[in-house]
Structures are given as C-alpha cells and as structure tokens.
Amino acid sequence: MHAYWNINYGPVVFEMPASVEGIGIFGTVTDAWQRPLDDVGSKGRDRGLGEKYYLVPANYDGPLLRNALVYEPETNFGFSVLRPIIAGGPTEENLAEASALTKQIKVYPLSKAGGEAATNYVDVYSAPLEMTPKMDGAIYGHIHEMIGEEVVLDRDLAMMGALARIDIKRNEPFEPDADL
C-alpha cells in the first residue's frame, strides 16, 4: 500500500492495525525527500500491536491523544510504502487475510477523526499501470509546484538558486520558454 500525506492543512493520522496470527504489516513513513520518519507495523515502533501515528506541522500545539507517537516532519508532504508480511509463505487463505488486514490501515486528516475518516483504497492488482516516467518538460512544472508548497530549509538554498537560473522561483509564476 502506498499512502501519500500533506500536513499543509493540519495533522495527519496513520492508524496501523494490530498483527494477526502469522500476518503483520511492515513499512516506513518518509518525508518528501524520502528521509525515514519511522518504521511502522510488526517491525516498527508499535511492534505489531497497532498504533496511531501523528504527523504534525511545525510548532503544532493542538489536541492529540495522550501517549501518541507524534512526528514533526521537515517537509509538508510525504508518503509511506506498507506491505503485509506473511509467516510461512503465501496461500490463498492467508493472502485474503493479508489483504483484509492491509485495508484496516487508515490515513486521514486529524480534522476528520471520528467522522468521515475514509481512506481511499485503489486496487491496482489487475489494472494496467503505466510506470514509465515521462521524458518531457512536464517535470519542471511539477518541481515549481512542489517548491511552492514545501518548506525551504537552509540546506535547500543552493538548489533554489540553481532552479532560479531556469526561472523556477518560489511564489512566482512559472512561464517556461520554448528551450525548456
């Protein structure tokens, strides 16, 4: 399962289910630059017992559950890759159980906790999926969009200068010429 998150609008909650006999979930929650925040699931901090992980914006001082696992990522966006681990190898039965356990993972804004905290699952197992990166200039527009929504840290300033040389600037319109 891939889960993408954005804390621009407030904290995000990851709810990890407890492992069941012979089946657990394992994965890593990372920030936008793929720096790990923590491992989750059976080999993570919750040790397969199930837990809520909170990803909060810088200086967040709002309500959270007591003893919650709280992380303050350096970026506003991030993602996780989570997968079931099946002891003894897969069978038809435990594959179905692993799929059901995976669908118990919830990722939602804290503002929707207790209400419409639905996680949108898209099963791509039998669907054609094109994963070849496009080799065109669209990447520059994506970079412009990302730097407009991300935190710029001191370590990013050299890259921001390089991007400015091709007119990708934070909080300014991006209007590429024909050469780009």
Query: CA 62 → CA 10, 51, 92, distances in Å?
Result: 9, 19, 45
State residue 145's pLDDT score: 92
Residue 169 has pLDDT above 70, yes or no: yes
Of the ranges 6-20, 38-52, 58-72, 108-122, which one carries the lowest mean pLDDT score? Answer: 108-122
Nearest to 71 by CA among 104, 49, 45: 45
How many whole angstroms separate alpha carbon 128 and alpha carbon 116?
30
Residues 105, 33 contacting (CB under 8 angstroms): no
User: Alpha-carbon torsion 112, 113, 116, 120, what sign?
Assistant: positive
Q: CA torsion angle for 146, 151, 153, 156 (degrees, to 10)?
A: 0
What CATH class is the domain 2-112? mainly beta
Query: CA 168 → CA 40, 54, 147, 150, 171, distances in Å?
Result: 36, 32, 9, 14, 9
How many whole angstroms separate alpha carbon 149 and alpha carbon 119?
23
For the chain, the structural domain boundaries read 2-112, 133-180
Q: Is 25 helix (H, G, I), strand (E, B) or coil?
A: strand
> At 105, is the pLDDT very low, low, confident or very high (cuts 50, 70, 90)?
very high
> At 6, is the pLDDT very low, low, confident or very high (cuts 50, 70, 90)?
very high
pLDDT in tens, 11-53: 999 899 999 989 999 999 999 989 999 999 888 889 999 999 9
Amino acid (1-letter code) at residue 112: K
- Cα 78 off chain centre by: 4
If you average pLDDT over every residue of the chain, what do you get? Answer: 89
Residue 126 has pLDDT above 90, yes or no: no
